Chain A
Amino acid sequence: MRKLLFCYLFGLISYQSFAKSEVENDGELGSLKDYYYSCWDFYDFSLSDEPEYVVEGKQSFVTKSSKDGSRADLKSPWLKLEKGKIEFEVKPTDNVEKSIIYAFIIPFDSENVKNGESSDYEYLGSYELSIKEKGKEKGKDKEKADKVDFKIPKDRIGEMVKVHLVFMVTGDDGVLAVDNLEIPGEYSSDPSSNCFPKGEKKDSDGDGVADDEDDYPDDKYKAYNNYLTPKWPATLMFEDLWPAKGDYDFNDLVLDYTINRVTDAEGEIVEVLIDILPRAAGAGYSNGFGIEITGISPNQVYKVEGSKIKSNTIHKFMNNGLEEGNEYATIIAFDDVANVLTHPGGGALGINTDPKFPMQRVEKMRITMYLKDAGNYDKDAGAVKLNEIMLDNFNPFLIVNQKRGVEIHLPGKMPTAHADKSLFGTKEDNSNGDEDAFYRGKDNGLPWALNVTESIPYMMNKEDITTGFNMFYKWAATGGEAYPDWYQDKKGYRSEKVLLNAK
Chain B
Amino acid sequence: MALIIPGIVFFTSCVEQPLEDDNRLVGPSTESIEDLKVSEFFDWKTTNEITVSIEGLSMNVGVDQRLSLLTSEGTEIFAGSHKMHENFQMTFDLPSDVDVIVMKYGAAEKSSEINNKVASFNFELEREVDALNVEFAELSTK
The reply to whether the CB of A39 lies closer than 8 angstroms to some CB of chain B is: yes
Report the separation of the CA atoms of residues A35 and B57 in the bound assembly, to the nearest whole angstrom. Answer: 9
For residue B9, CB closer than 8 A to chain A, the reply is no
> Which A residues touch B43, using CB under 8 A?
411-412, 480
- Separation of A43 and B105 alpha carbons in the complex (Å): 28
A391 and B90 contact, Cβ closer than 8 Å, known pairs A208-B81, A466-B36: no
Please tell me the number of chain A residues within 8 Å of chain B, measured between CB atoms. 104
A386 contacts across to B, CB distance below 8 A:
78, 80, 90
Once A466-B31, A466-B33 are accepted as A-B contacts, the answer to whether A126 and B59 lie under 8 Å apart by CB is: no
B-contacting 9-mer, from A285-293, A307-315, A337-345, A490-498: A490-498
- Give 1 or 0 for each of B103-134: 1 = CB within 8 Å of chain A CB: 00111100000000000000111011111111
Q: Give min CB distance, B46 to chain A, whole Å.
A: 4
- How many angstroms from the CA of A471 to the CA of B62 in the assembled complex? 52
Per-position contact with A for B88-106: 1 when CB-CB < 8 Å, else 0? 0011111111100000011
Does A422 sit within 8 A of B, measured CB to CB? no
- Please tell me if A227 contacts chain B, counting CB pairs below 8 Å: yes
Quick one: closest A residue to B75, CB to CB? A230
Alpha-carbon distance between A497 and B13 when the two chains are bound, in angstroms: 35
Cα(A450)–Cα(B42), bound, Å: 13
Max count, chain A CB within 10 A of own CB: residue among B37, B61, B66: B61
Return chain B residues, CB-CB under 8 Å to A208: 64, 81
Question: B40 — which chain A residues lie within 8 A by C-beta?
Answer: 430, 436-437, 440, 445
Asked whether A226 lies within 8 Å of B78 as measured between CB atoms, the reply is: yes
A24 to chain B, nearest CB (A): 11
Contact B108 A446 (CB under 8 A): no
Cβ-neighbour of B91 out of A390, A480, A485 (below 8 A): A390
Query: How many B residues face the partner with a CB closer than 8 A?
Result: 67
Residue of A nearest to B22 (CB): A492
Cα distance A395–B142 in the bound complex, in angstroms: 77
Given A191-B123, A446-B38, answer yes or no on A473-B105 (Cβ-Cβ < 8 Å). Answer: no
Residues of A within 8 A of B91 (CB): 387, 390
Quote the shortest CB–CB distance from A229 to chain B (angstroms). 9
With a cutoff of 8 Å between Cβ atoms, the chain B residues found around residue A5 in the complex are 59-60
Known: A230-B77, A465-B33, A476-B36. Is A42-B132 also a contact (CB below 8 A)?
yes
Q: Which residues of B contact A126 (CB under 8 A)?
A: 138, 142
Closest residue of chain A to B59, judged by CB? Answer: A38
- Quick one: which of B37, B61, B98 contacts A189, CB cutoff 8 A? B61
Q: State the Cβ distance, A410 to closest chain B Cβ, in Å.
A: 7
Stretch from A84-92, A149-157, A193-201 forming part of the interface with B: A193-201
In the complex, the answer to whether B61 meets A187 with C-beta atoms within 8 Å is yes
Cβ A479 vs Cβ B93 within 8 A: no
Which residues of chain B are near A38, meaning CB under 8 Å? 57-59, 61
Q: Please tell me if the beta carbons of A115 and B128 are within 8 angstroms of each other in the complex.
A: yes
Q: Which of A77, A195, A267, A493 touches B81 (beta carbons < 8 Å)? A: A267
Residue B44 lies at the interface, judged by CB distance under 8 Å to chain A:
yes
Q: With the chains together, A99 CA to B92 CA distance in Å?
A: 57
* B124 adjacent to A37 (CB under 8 Å): yes
Chain A residues with CB under 8 A of B33: 248, 446, 464-466, 473
A192 engages B125 (CB within 8 Å): yes
* Residue in contact with B61 in the complex, picked from A33, A39, A441, A451, CB distance below 8 Å: A39
Chain B residues near A479 (CB-CB < 8 A): 38-39, 41-42
Q: Does A484 interact with chain B (Cβ within 8 Å)?
A: yes
- Chain B residue nearest in CB terms to A168: B139
Cross-chain contact of B136 among A6, A166, A473 (Cβ < 8 A): A166
Q: Which residue of B lies closest to A480 (CB)?
A: B42
Question: Which A residues touch B76, using CB under 8 A?
Answer: 225, 227
Q: Are B142 and A100 in contact (CB under 8 A)?
A: yes
Determine whether the beta carbon of B71 is less than 8 Å from that of A230. Answer: yes
B46: nearest residue on chain A (CB-CB)?
A453
Of the candidates B28, B47, B84, the one whose C-beta lies within 8 Å of that of A453 is B47
The stretch that binds B, out of A134-142, A209-217, A294-302, A356-364, is A209-217
Q: Which 10 A-B pairs have the closest CB atoms?
A: A192-B106, A445-B38, A43-B132, A213-B66, A391-B93, A492-B26, A484-B96, A224-B79, A73-B132, A473-B31
Given A71-B139, A194-B127; 9 other pairs, CB 8 A cutoff: A37-B123, A164-B134, A192-B105, A213-B65, A231-B95, A445-B42, A466-B32, A487-B46, A492-B28
B-side interface residues toward A, CB under 8 Å? 20, 26-29, 31-33, 36-47, 57-66, 71, 75-81, 84, 90-98, 105-108, 123-125, 127-134, 136, 138-139, 142
Selected A-B contacts with CB under 8 Å, 10 pairs: A73-B134, A267-B81, A446-B33, A454-B95, A466-B36, A470-B29, A480-B42, A487-B46, A492-B20, A495-B28
